[in-house]
Structure 1
Amino acid sequence: MRLLTLTLFLSLFNLALAQLPPETSSTATLPAWQPHWVFVLDSNFPYLTANKATLLDGDRLDMLGMISMGYLANLEVSPDGKEIYAIETFHSRLTRGERTDVVTIYDAKTLLPLGEIPIPAKRFLVVTKRNVTGLTTDGRFLLVYNYTPGQSVSVVDLRARRFIGEIETPGCALVYPIGPRQFVMICADGALLGVSLDDNGRVRSLNRSSQIFNPDEDPVFEHAVTLGNRLYLVSYKGKVYEIDGSGVPPRLLRTFALPEEGFRPGGWQLLSVHPNGFLYVLVHRGGDWTHKYPGEEVWVISLREGRRVDRIRLVEPANSIYVTQDGRPLLFALSEHGFVQVYGAFSGRYQGRIDEIGISPLVLIGR
């Protein structure tokens, strides 16, 4: 009876399998870029040779797609939302061998590669930071910060699809685009370097300011933000610097302090800015040298008034934040544990969370 029962079961199981339709695969196409979409960059620590970028929808609280990238990659989205640029490094033997650095161009609707632009194999390879690359505000030129340890910036013409040249910037790091032909860099002595390009992407002028902040007494976070021709830096102790980046050289306009109250700014990508004139700062309870602690709250600072106008208490601590640039913005708050919280940026209302987005997500990138 047991043998008969087993034989009957296997016969029915095989019959069910025979009736299953064959599986087929397909490729979905995304609609035009939406204002509440954001990429999360995962450096895949400690397996840094294969990074990824996950595209999230803040309205649906869902994942839309993913781009697989090379070693310690960074990402930029074109101003029109039609193309995505991955700045990547590869080695011929995965962890060794000949090094190749490229800018890979992706179609934003299919997330499939359209082509590559080779660049000098000297870009800054470090745990993912937002400002190791940048786009000029018109989307024409891509800027890539290099460190060998000589410091320079590679310029790529995205319209012509070619590498233009390299600008030597000794003592100054990272890139903060200010306009269609200008960007600012932070220098080791607390000064800022203003760089102007001509219409061919060649350097027109380099102008270095006097010391703006004291890196020995109160360093600034490298994750700064720009709004128009303004650059906003925040120090470890909560001092905000407003810089006119269009000046020759860059010029300090004013400073003001965040409310003390036992809080300090900290995290990773701890700043975001909205066109309505609001600076969002990730903060935590702490003292000196707690600048890497995850944030418990996000403070909303009116740039016009130079004061806090709101505070958003996070459901769970976060390391990075990003505010969308539309009229009804969302605030994304990224945890190192692989999930994103979503809030109304103006209301502070918690919308929900998106889970399981990576091993070591660090940076949020929108358009």
Structure 2
Amino acid sequence: MKMKTLALVTSLVACSAVNAQWDSVVGGTSIIEGYDRYWVSVRSGGTVYLVDADTGEVEGTLYTSNFSPAIAPDLKNGKIYSYGAFYTRTEYGDRTDVVLEFDASTTEPIGEVEIPARSAGIGHPGMMGIINDKFIGVWNITPATTVSLVDTETDAFVAEVALPSCSGIYPLAQGWVSMCGDGTAQYIELNMAGQETRRVTSESFFDVFEDPVFDYAVPATDGWMYMSFEGLLRKVTFDGAAVNVTEPFDINPESNGTPDINGVFREDDDDWRIVGRQPFTFHDDEAILVTIMHEGGGQEVFEDPGTEIWGFNMKTGNRGYRIELEDGATASSVMMTPDEDPLLIVSTSIGMQVRDPRSGRLLRTVEMLEGGSIQSLYEGM
């Protein structure tokens, strides 16, 4: 009996030690009192870590699936949504796709809605969005491209919207914007029943064979920012009647032999390309653009990780800094937290880095969170 008791005590002590180590990664299980603008999510496999980037602490986790590239925070209603595909034999067998619903304060799953088994289980945060503060949109590819809609008020699948040769779900006005293979941006509007009411297409502004546009976009105050493989940045907006696209800003222009306003001569950096799963981030109010850069190769390296971070002052159009990542690290994703006084979040091969976006200065590194896609948890993004 003593030996059994000793074995039980030893087992409990070992489990406590393991759990203490695990909690240092996954965070505690206490109630989350609230999220602020510095909270972000980092996806790693089937786990989403909720991180306070201001402190570097992991505050909680969501358990999704290995085919869940995005979340959709709905914090004003106390929820976080995701989606995923599940197989009866883990990696194969009969497939079921669902939109997942989590309690934002406990991170516990509280519901799910089955959707057609066509969701894109790869990609980035642009594969999912909350539309009209009511519908969860999930991008599908089979290879036909569509969007599945789930009503968050009734927890029911309501419609599947055709989206031929277009990708991404970027909420705007009463619908969303997608980027299309014919070189256009398309706005799809919904009514409050989840039915499509109109579709507006921009003029063609890029050639998919010459200079494709990433299907990943980042928010601006009045629209969404898109970047091309060759480094041309444009804003897409909707004025109620037309989809408008701004003239491009070139992150890597050729030198014209004249100095900038600081007296610095620009050097041609023709061998550097913008890359990554989330290759750039933009902050409208602070007028900051940050990109991940890779040396060498052609357009085929667009999803490769990069070794440098470039920061631009969008008021002057000048590159303000150029940083080589330390210790041979590479970066795959970058984002800025919203609102005033933002933080720059960089997902690297050695952990999640938190930097000052104005200077690029490294503030802290959250280890064991390397290489995952990142999103803001704050309302307004």
Q: 2:208 aligns with which of 202, 212, 215?
A: 215
Cα distance in structure 2, aligned partners of 1:228 and 1:141: 21
TM-superposed deviation, 1:133: 1.0
Question: What do the CA deviations read for 1:255-311 (whole angstroms, capped 9, x no partner)?
Answer: 1211343132112201222241433322233353343343344334455x4713532
CA contact (8 A) 2:288 2:358 kept: no
TM-superposed deviation, 1:343: 0.7
TM-superposed deviation, 1:92: 2.1
CA contact (8 A) 1:155 1:166 kept: yes
Cα distance in structure 1, aligned partners of 2:209 and 2:240: 25
**Partner in structure 2 of residue 151 of structure 1:** 145
CA contact (8 A) 1:259 1:308 kept: no
Give the letter aligned to residue 158 of structure 2: I
SS in 1 for 2:339: coil
TM-score by length of structure 1 reads 0.83
Give the letter aligned to residue 227 of structure 1: A
Give 1:6-21 correspondences, 5 Å limit: none
Give the letter aligned to residue 101 of structure 1: D
1:164 matched to 2:177? The reply is no
Cα distance in structure 2, aligned partners of 1:111 and 1:334: 22
Q: 2:44 aligns with which of 42, 45, 48?
A: 42
TM-superposed deviation, 1:84: 0.9
SS in 1 for 2:126: helix
Cα distance in structure 2, aligned partners of 1:192 and 1:107: 34
SS in 2 for 1:254: coil
Question: What do the CA deviations read for 1:193-234 (whole angstroms, capped 9, x no partner)?
Answer: 210111222111112233210111111122222323322211
Cα distance in structure 1, aligned partners of 2:183 and 2:201: 11
Q: 2:309 aligns with which of 298, 305, 314?
A: 298
Distance change >3 Å, CA 288–CA 140, structure 1 → 2: same
Cα distance in structure 2, aligned partners of 1:310 and 1:81: 40
- Size of the aligned set, in residue pairs, is 342
Cα distance in structure 1, aligned partners of 2:316 and 2:243: 20
Question: What do the CA deviations read for 1:132-172 (whole angstroms, capped 9, x no partner)?
Answer: 11123x53221111112222111122233222211111121
CA contact (8 A) 1:269 1:320 kept: yes
The percent identity for this pair of structures is: 26
**Partner in structure 2 of residue 33 of structure 1:** 35
Q: 1:348 aligns with which of 360, 364, 378?
A: 360
After the TM superposition, which of the residue ranges 144-153 and 342-351 deviates more from structure 2?
342-351
**Partner in structure 1 of residue 289 of structure 2:** 279
Q: 1:324 aligns with which of 327, 334, 337?
A: 337
1:334 matched to 2:328? The reply is no
**Partner in structure 2 of residue 6 of structure 1:** none
Cα distance in structure 1, aligned partners of 2:13 and 2:247: 68
**Partner in structure 2 of residue 142 of structure 1:** 136
TM-score by length of structure 2 reads 0.80
Distance change >3 Å, CA 91–CA 298, structure 1 → 2: same
TM-superposed deviation, 1:364: 0.1
**Partner in structure 2 of residue 357 of structure 1:** 369
Distance change >3 Å, CA 291–CA 14, structure 1 → 2: closer
Cα distance in structure 2, aligned partners of 1:153 and 1:104: 16
**Partner in structure 2 of residue 310 of structure 1:** 320
Distance change >3 Å, CA 346–CA 80, structure 1 → 2: farther
Cα distance in structure 2, aligned partners of 1:268 and 1:151: 20
Cα distance in structure 2, aligned partners of 1:287 and 1:306: 29
TM-superposed deviation, 1:59: 2.0
Cα distance in structure 2, aligned partners of 1:81 and 1:280: 32
**Partner in structure 2 of residue 198 of structure 1:** 191
**Partner in structure 1 of residue 100 of structure 2:** 104
Give the letter aligned to residue 348 of structure 1: G
After the TM superposition, which of the residue ranges 223-232 and 211-220 deviates more from structure 2?
223-232
Distance change >3 Å, CA 98–CA 288, structure 1 → 2: closer
Structure 2 unaligned residues grouped into runs of 5+: 20-27, 254-267
Question: What do the CA deviations read for 1:85-108 (whole angstroms, capped 9, x no partner)?
Answer: 121111222223322111111111
Cα distance in structure 1, aligned partners of 2:125 and 2:14: 44
Distance change >3 Å, CA 282–CA 182, structure 1 → 2: same
Cα distance in structure 2, aligned partners of 1:125 and 1:253: 31
1:88 matched to 2:98? The reply is no
CA contact (8 A) 1:301 1:308 kept: yes
Cα distance in structure 1, aligned partners of 2:248 and 2:346: 26
